[in-house]
Amino acid sequence: MDSDEESFGKSDSGHNSPTDDEDDFPMEMDQPPVKEKAMETDEYPYETLTTENIVQTMIDCIDDINSVLNLPKTTTRILLNHFKWDKEKLLERYFESNQEKFFRDAHVVNPFNKPKLKNKPKVPSSGLEECEICLSTFPPNMMTGLECGHRFCTNCWGEYLTTKIMEEGLGQTIACAAHNCDILVDDVTVTKLVPDLRVKVKYQLLITNSFVECNRLLRWCPSVDCTCAIKVQYVEYRPVQCRCGHIFCFQCGENWHDPVQCRILKKWIKKCDDDSETSNWIAANTKECPNCNVTIEKNGGCNHMVCKNQSCKYDFCWVCLGPWEPHGSSWYNCNRYDEDEAKAARDAQERLRSSLARYLHYYNRYMNHMQSLKFEHKLYASVKEKMEEMQQHNMSWIEVQFLKKAVDILCQCRQTLMYTYVFAYYLKKNNQLLIFEDNQKDLESATETLSEYLERDITSENLADIKQKVQDKYR
Amino acid sequence: MFKLGKFGKKEKSKCEILTILPNDCVAKNGKKLILDNTRWEKRLHKELMSLISEPPPGVTVDAESVSENLSEWKINIDGVEGTLYEGEHFQLLFKFNNKYPFDSPEVTFIGTNIPIHPHVYSNGHICLSILTEDWSPALSVQSVCLSISSMLSSCKEKKRPADNTIYVKTCNKNPKKTKWWYHGKFFLMSF
């Protein structure tokens, strides 16, 4: 799947993207915000956010809350993080619940009710304070702490935060260095106390990441090396296209997998991961015990099998799967094909096999389209060559664009076809399945025709014709 | 979830030992401890001085072991009077790395007498949250010793952890590599 995603990311256009031309530019981190790229696909509004946009969204979110609550920004950030950046929930809880508890749950000191510092800084006569971490004494201006009143020297704070960020990968959830104190360190304090720029950058990354990951309306683009995130207004099983060109399902983050639902796709992927290789091997190398159905691998030449299953110990013949008992006697021979008992045993096994065969039928077709899809990405290169060639034969740039478009559509067809097999696997056998299979067949044959034309030498007329046909058939 | 080994905040006795000059760091055998400028070693020295000059009841540092290697301390702990461990003597091994005190020390029971306790495995590993996830750089060798001593003292029945056999067979040598599942609660000794 990975390489598939990767190569799909390279295809730089989708037929339903209104801003195709923009996609041809390589994505750069420092490009200006692309809010204008907000687009609609079946009225599902979403926008692509760059890292800068994400940070801005965080700040906007904090400002929104602060216009109501008027708390310190750093406190608001911790609160928002606690409520997974759900503004409504935060406000609701703020006004409904006990304020003391509200702040305590979020691990911040209530800004309206600062406790008298329980741990009065120890100020000996010398005017120096002791840092409990390095056990050295410092003038008070070298000591610092959070609202909870636990003070340590700035060096130790720096090292403590660096350890938490670099070793433990903590961002917004670093607690005060004192034992048993769960008050969280705010972002401004971290930035102030961490000396190393590299650590600061990692910290920024960690808090941005936690912002995206815990916010249900945001999702990182799963494409390799893409640093954008998609922001939606409500979560739904819908395709979204990142500015890097990658199209994925917002709900689950997998490649867009119409017509299969996320839940079923997940089930399928799990099944494939668990089963495919193993089941292939089992199908090729084993039989089931006709008595207890345990899977058996034959490890010797003798056909007299004794099931090793302790509760079974059935004697049978590996060849005909009938009981072994009659084999020894002169009146029985398992070379007699129409023996009823052997047939019954075979039938039982047949039934067990058929479910596996059914799975493998769908799985092989699914894998095959996935494989083809990977190959189609090579087509882009050859098609590009053809396009250049045609442009030299008195055709305009705009006239040859259909070629690239055809490959785009081919890829989409392949991807849809791939998932139709997953869909069909989970369908019950009824009339609708027949209709579905007919449609699937039409799409498949059209796709193969298109694929054939694109791979062989083409003339402009018949290709345009085929393209038309495919677009008609494409649901 | 209760975490075994919580103890009172900031009740640690103040380290007046700070007034001792580093040059006074001489172990029992008269060997001068090697001083280094690195911060973790400085802190270890200060902790050591504090433990030697003001040892908490029942806790003694094996200064000889420390003078050989500052990053491995052997500490003797006596069973507290009036508890199940009265009259017994145990030995703890503290291993520090150069990230100390930001990284927790590795603490195990060593020697022939490993206390029989529901949170101490027969290989000496201790299931105590302040030794891993609840570690704070503001904790110290002394506070860890007191926590362990108080963990022993609060014990009602001498027995090994239920999963002792399987754990001892399969665990990593370093108890910090174990993903501990803290349970149980024990009460605080004031110190």
For the domain that residue A461 is a member of, what is the CATH number?
1.20.120.1750
Q: Do A180 and B18 lie within an 8 Å CB cutoff?
A: no
Higher pLDDT, A277 or B89: B89
Give the residue numbers spanning the domain of A387.
Answer: 264-274+361-473
For residue A134, the chain B residues in CB contact (below 8 A) are 39, 42-43
Q: What's chain B's length in residues?
A: 191
Give chain A's mean pLDDT: 76
Compute the distance between CA of residue A137 and CA of residue B61 in angstroms, rounded to an integer.
25
| pLDDT at A15 (0 to 100) | 40
Convert the pLDDT of each residue in B60-112 to its tens digit: 998 888 888 888 999 999 999 889 999 999 999 999 988 888 889 999 999 98
Distance from CA of B109 to the nearest CA of A (A): 23
Element (H, E) at A305: strand A304-306
Compute the distance between CA of residue A301 and CA of residue B42 in angstroms, rounded to an integer.
73
- A230 burial level (CB within 10 Å; 0-12, 13-18, 19+): buried
Domains: count for chain A: 4
CA distances from A95 to A64, A72, A98 (A): 16, 17, 8
Find the residue in A nearest to B135 (Cα).
A179
Distance from CA of A278 to the nearest CA of B (A): 29
Q: Do A135 and B137 lie within an 8 Å CB cutoff?
A: no
Convert the pLDDT of each residue in A345-372 to its tens digit: 677 677 767 777 788 888 888 888 888 8
For residue A155, the chain B residues in CB contact (below 8 A) are 39
Both A368 and A467 in one domain: the answer is yes
Both A148 and A244 in one domain: the answer is no
Both A68 and A102 in one domain: the answer is yes
Distance from CA of A439 to the nearest CA of B (A): 53
Q: Is A163 on the interface with B (CB under 8 A)?
A: yes
Both A91 and A27 in one domain: the answer is no
Question: What SS3 state is found at B29?
Answer: coil
| pLDDT at B18 (0 to 100) | 34
- A415 burial level (CB within 10 Å; 0-12, 13-18, 19+): buried
Compute the distance between CA of residue A108 and CA of residue A126 in angstroms, rounded to an integer.
33
Q: Which residues contact A238 (CB under 8 A, 6 or more apart)?
A: A41, A42, A44, A232, A249, A250, A251
User: What average pLDDT score do residues A129-152 get?
Assistant: 87
Scanning B96-115 for CB atoms below 8 A from A yields 99, 101-103
User: What average pLDDT score do residues A56-82 get?
Assistant: 88
Both A32 and A57 in one domain: the answer is no
Both A268 and A416 in one domain: the answer is yes
Q: Is A136 on the interface with B (CB under 8 A)?
A: yes
A302 catalytic residue (yes or no): yes
- Asked if the structure places residue A224 within a domain, the reply is yes
Of residues A272, A302, A307, A317, which has the active-site annotation? A302
Residue B120: pLDDT band (50, 70, 90) is very high
Residue B22 and residue B32 in contact, taking contact as beta carbons nearer than 8 Å: no
Compute the distance between CA of residue B68 and CA of residue B31 in angstroms, rounded to an integer.
9
Question: What SS3 state is found at A179?
Answer: coil
Backbone angles phi, psi at A133, to 5 degrees: -90, -55
Maximum distance among all Cα pairs of chain A, rounded to whole angstroms: 111
Closest partner residue to B137 among A133, A137, A180, by Cβ?
A: A133
| pLDDT at A384 (0 to 100) | 81
Both A269 and A398 in one domain: the answer is yes
| pLDDT at B1 (0 to 100) | 36
Beta bridge partners of A153: A143
Give the strands of the sheet with A229-232, arranged side by side.
A39-41, A44-49, A229-232, A218-220
Closest partner residue to A179 among B18, B103, B139, by Cβ?
A: B139
ipTM: 0.71
Structural domains in chain B, sorted by start = 16-177 (3.10.110.10)
Compute the distance between CA of residue B143 and CA of residue B191 in angstroms, rounded to an integer.
9
Higher pLDDT, A284 or A220: A220
Compute the distance between CA of residue A261 and CA of residue A131 in angstroms, rounded to an integer.
57
- Asked if the structure places residue A373 within a domain, the reply is yes
Both A44 and A107 in one domain: the answer is no
| pLDDT at A126 (0 to 100) | 65
Which residue, of A113, A128, A161, is where some domain finishes? A113
Nearest to A193 by CA among A153, A166, A226, A231: A153
Most confident of A250-259, A372-381, B146-155: B146-155
Both A365 and A378 in one domain: the answer is yes
Q: How far apart are the first and last CA of chain B?
A: 24
Give chain B's mean pLDDT: 76
Both A16 and A156 in one domain: the answer is no
Both A77 and A155 in one domain: the answer is no
Q: Is B10 on the interface with A (CB under 8 A)?
A: yes
CA distances from A431 to A358, A434, A436, B132 (A): 18, 5, 9, 61
User: What average pLDDT score do residues A91-103 get?
Assistant: 86
- Asked if the structure places residue A206 within a domain, the reply is no
**Low-confidence winner among A316-330, A435-449, B10-24, B36-50 (lowest mean pLDDT):** B10-24
Convert the pLDDT of each residue in B40-51 to its tens digit: 888 888 888 888
Question: Residue A183 maps to which CATH number?
Answer: 3.30.40.10
Nearest to B73 by CA among B54, B113, B100: B100
| pLDDT at A257 (0 to 100) | 83
- Asked if the structure places residue A19 within a domain, the reply is yes
